Amino acid sequence: MRKYMQPIDNMNKNSVITWYHWETIEIKKDDKLKHCVSCVPKETTFQTVLDALEQDMKTYPGHAFRAAWQQQKTDGNLYRQVISRICCRGDGFQ
C-alpha cells in the first residue's frame, strides 16, 4: 500500500491535514466511567494517516467477516421472530 501512496506522501511531506478516526473514548456519566466508540478529529501529517490506515487494514478482514456473520445471524433470527409473532397471534394482524 505504501508504494502506491508514495507520490501523494512526497507531495504532502510537511503538510498537516485534518482527518477522522474511530476510537474508543471514555465518558463519565452518572459518576461512572463508560467506554464508547467515537469518530475523533485528528490533525497530523499524511504519514501518520498512512500509518493509521495500514494498522486498520491489518484487522479489517476479521472485522468484515464477523460483521457479515453477525448480520446474517441477526437477519435470520429477526425474520423468524416477526413471522412467529404474526402467525401465532389469535386476534390477527392489525
| pLDDT for position 29 | 85
Model confidence over 17-51: pLDDT tens digits? 899 999 999 988 888 999 999 999 999 998 898 88
Spatial contact of 70 and 63, defined as CB atoms under 8 Å apart? no
Can you give the residue range of the structural domain that contains 54?
2-88
Model confidence over 59-75: pLDDT tens digits? 999 988 988 888 887 76
Question: Would residue 60 count as lying in a domain?
Answer: yes
In the chain, the number of structural domains is 1
DSSP states of the chain: -HHHHHHHHHHTTT-EEEEEEEEEEEEEETTEEEEEEEEEEEEEEHHHHHHHHHHHHHHHHHHHHHHHHHHHHHHHHHHHHHHHHHHH-TT---
Question: Would residue 94 count as lying in a domain?
Answer: no
| C-alpha cell recorded at residue 73 | 445471524
Question: Would residue 16 count as lying in a domain?
Answer: yes
What's the CA gap between 82 and 94, in Å, rounded?
14
pTM of the model: 0.59
